[in-house]
Amino acid sequence: MAAKKKKKAKKAKAVKARKAKGKSPAKKSRTVARKAGKTPAKKKKKAVKAARKKAPARKPAKKAKRKQTVGEGDYQASRAFLRDQSNFVEKNRARIPTLGQQAEKALEGPEGDALRDAEATAAARSRDLF
């Protein structure tokens, strides 16, 4: 901040010195320079275009990180689940009927009671009713 103030003060001093000597200030606006006939408008436009081309590209601004929502509003987890589910179906399309038959046999077999208990436990925690 102090450097800016010093710079402004130095410029003001230089302008005062030029005025005291009877010279015009160092900078003039474009319109004043054009009216004076020092630089034609076409050359000025070309210089401006060249300056624009030479300017370095700006870096994209960083996006602010959002807080991750956890629970029913966790959209990121929902998208990941749906993506994984569709990938599983695509990869195992031929095996799905046999997997279903194996699950039926497991329910009818000796581990059927344990599977039904696990289903009831999961349903008790869920809001959905099976």
Residue 118 has pLDDT above 80, yes or no: yes
What is the Rg, in whole angstroms, of the alpha carbon atoms belonging to the chain?
Answer: 38
- Written as six digits, the tokens of 44 are 């000025």
pLDDT tens digits for range 56-95: 667 777 776 666 666 667 788 889 999 999 999 999 999 9
Mean pLDDT for the chain overall:
76
Cα–Cα nearest to 44, from 36, 53, 34, 35: 34
For residue 29, is pLDDT > 70?
Answer: no
pLDDT in tens, 47-56: 666 666 665 6
What is the mean pLDDT of the segment spanning 82-111?
A: 94
**Residue ranges of domains in the chain:** 75-125
Nearest to 11 by CA among 30, 25, 31: 25
